[in-house]
Each structure stands twice: as structure tokens, then as C-alpha cells.
Amino acid sequence: MTFDTATYQKHSARVETEDIDFATFRDQPLEPDALRCLRYMHDVESHTVCYLRDVLVTRAHRDPDITSFLTMWNYEEYWHGDAIGRVLAAHDEVAGTSRIAALRQRLPKGDRWRPLGFQVASALTPHLTAVHMTWGAVNEWTTQAAYARLVKLADHPTLATLLKRIMKQEGRHIDFYASQADGRLANSRAAQRVTRWALRKYWAPVGTGVVDDTEVDFLRTYLFGDEDGRSMAERIDRRVDRLPGLGGLHLLTDAVAA
């Protein structure tokens, strides 16, 4: 598994929305459950810069391959949040800066200590970057699967066009994180042990701790609670299983069952 940063630099861009007619949502609005999902996705995409903050305080910032990728990744995720915000706005929902400001005000008090926690963890183990890269792969796999499920469940052509474009970019994010995770885990049994321990102890679906727990539960049930959703969760678990030393964690199937 390899990732070519130069090719990614060439393709990295703001997700194309110029030709998307957001006014179609006025005539054909989304169902309330699909909108509820999009609120979650808007909030999580818009939170990417805060996840970036937590990575940059660790020794990962010394790796130029990682920082080059993260620069473009953050930019693309920003525009994912913005595009989803335009769908919400077409339904007269609050989106963008005012929604993000309110969300950040509601973050748990412990959020301010997260960078310090990551700094300390980075000083204690040289393998935190392996954990971050693996965590990123799992979250990007999950995000892409969530969009695929929403395309199917919402059954709305304009939304499908937008989300498939976003999914294409998520695919490149997956390629980066999975190749980094694979390489770092293959090189070190200690990295495997630390990453396995961290995922088992701390991993939770992306958005946990940022949006309300009721919304995490809703998304988990709505997107992954039926047979198709469960088989998608199993597929992600099989991808995790293929990473060196990470077999049998069942992160996604356990999260869905919970």
C-alpha cells in the first residue's frame, strides 16, 4: 500500500459545488432523519481543524509527508462541511459559522486539555503517530461508509451527487491514513501493541465527544442498524483486521451492537 503525495497535491481541491442546484432541496426537501444525519456530518467535518490541532502538538509535525497531507486534508474537510452547510441552509437550518460557534461553546471543559494530553502521550511513546494514522484510517473508512449509507437511505439525486464527490475525496484520505498505518505497524511490534491498546481503550465513532451522545446513537442506528449497515461495519472491521497486529478488534461491529 503506497500513497503518492505529489499526485494528491495535484488532485486536492475544494469539492466541486458550482453546478449543484441547492434550490432543488426547496422543492424536494430531505426527510427529517436524513437532515439530522447531515447536521452531524456538518459538525464533524467542520471540527477537522480541531482534530488537526491535536495531531500537530505531537511528534507527527516533524514528518513533512504527514504535514503536507494534513494541510490539504484540512482544506478539503473544511469545504465538505461548507457544502453540507449549504444543504442545511436550503432547508432553513442554521449552518456554517454560527452553528460551529455554538457547537464549540458546548464542547466539554476537558477539550481544552486535549492538546496537553497528546503532547504528554507523544513524549511517552514514539508510536503515537502510528495510533493517529490508524485512528484516521478507521475514521475515514467509517465516514465514507456513512456517506454511502446516507446516499442510499435519503434517495435524493442532488444529495447523491454531492456526497459521491465528497466520498471520492474521502477515498484519498483513506489511502493516506491506511498506507501510513500499514507501514508504521509493519515496522514495529511495539507500535502494534500501543495502537491496539489505544484503539481498544479509547476508540469511539467519529463525532463522539463533539456532538451530543443522543446524536451518535441516532446515527449509529439509522445508518448502520439494518442488515446493509451491519455488513458495511463488518467490512470496515475486516479492513482493520488486515492492518499488521490489529486482527480481531471488532471496533465497528461492537459500536453498532452497543
Stretch that binds Fe ion, among 2-10, 26-34, 42-50, 89-97 (CB under 5 A): 42-50
Q: How far is the CB of 77 from Fe ion (least distance, A)?
A: 4
- Pick one of 77, 175, 215, 237: the residue that binds Fe ion (CB under 5 A): 77
Q: How far is the CB of 188 from Fe ion (least distance, A)?
A: 26
Q: How far is the CB of 144 from Fe ion (least distance, A)?
A: 8
Stretch that binds Fe ion, among 89-97, 105-113, 168-176, 203-211 (CB under 5 A): 168-176
DSSP string, 46-72: HTHHHHHHHHHTSGGGG-HHHHHHHHH
214 and 162 Cβ atoms separated by less than 8 Å: no
CA distances from 234 to 2, 93, 174, 229 (A): 24, 34, 17, 9
Contacts of 241 (CB under 8 A, 6+ apart): 247, 248, 249
Determine, following the binding rule CB under 5 A, whether residue 173 of this chain makes contact with Fe ion.
Answer: yes
Determine, following the binding rule CB under 5 A, whether residue 80 of this chain makes contact with Fe ion.
Answer: yes
Determine, following the binding rule CB under 5 A, whether residue 43 of this chain makes contact with Fe ion.
Answer: no
Stretch that binds Fe ion, among 95-103, 119-127, 135-143, 232-240 (CB under 5 A): 135-143
Burial annotation 156-182 (CB, 10 A radius, 16+ → b, else e): bebbeebbebbbebbebbbbbbbbbbb
Q: How far is the CB of 229 from Fe ion (least distance, A)?
A: 19
Q: How far is the CB of 62 from Fe ion (least distance, A)?
A: 23
92: left (phi over 0), alpha (psi -120 to 50) or beta: left
Size of the site for Fe ion (CB under 5 A): 6
Determine, following the binding rule CB under 5 A, whether residue 170 of this chain makes contact with Fe ion.
Answer: yes
Return the amino acid letter for 9.
Q
- Rounded to the nearest 5 degrees, what angle is found at the Cα of 50, between the Cα atoms of 169 and 163? 25
In the complex, the residues that contact Fe ion under the rule CB under 5 A are 45, 77, 80, 140, 170, 173
